Structure 1
């Protein structure tokens, strides 16, 4: 007789199905765009242009990476500009 085994991934999914996901910020892309991951089942979400949570697909991963790179360059440029104006 074979006893059915419970897979370890079943328990976190069960907890999320009953109580809902416990999302934590896993990455800050910009000031208003963040990526989230559930602490229990490791499901990943991100914010869209309207601020709603949507699943993090490969397409949105690429979009967030490009957006983060553009945002970081902008911040660096503004910091250099403010530093240069404070010296004069």
Structure 2
């Protein structure tokens, strides 16, 4: 019955996982089918290939974000300990 609803009215996708700022995984609230953002911005069914791509993409994204945060905290600490006078 749930797939009948989706075949008549279409899927009602909800975000199930944020991979990056632009790539997300979705799950239909009625039939539980899964989709992800494709390369051109549309939705495509979530296959094992796309699951693997998303996991690698998520790992790269998380490493980059943590590196940026670490560099920002090092810069703020660096500025706090700088006792040299600054003249214009």
* TM-score, normalised with respect to structure 1: 0.86
What is aligned with 2:58? 68
Secondary structure at 2:31's aligned position in 1? Answer: coil
**TM-score using structure 2 length:** 0.86
Which of structure 1's runs of 4+ aligned residues deviate more than 3 A?
none
> Secondary structure of 2:40's match?
coil
Cα RMSD (Å):
0.6
**1:16-70: CA deviation from partner (whole Å, max 9, x where unpaired):** 1111111000110000000000000011000111111001000000000000000
Question: 1:1-80, aligned counterparts within 5 Å?
Answer: 11-80=1-70
Distance 1:42 1:78 in 2: 36
Gapped runs of 5+ residues in structure 2?
A: 79-88
Where structure 1 has 5 or more consecutive residues not aligned to the other structure, the ranges are: 1-10
Which has the higher Rg, Structure 1 or Structure 2? 2
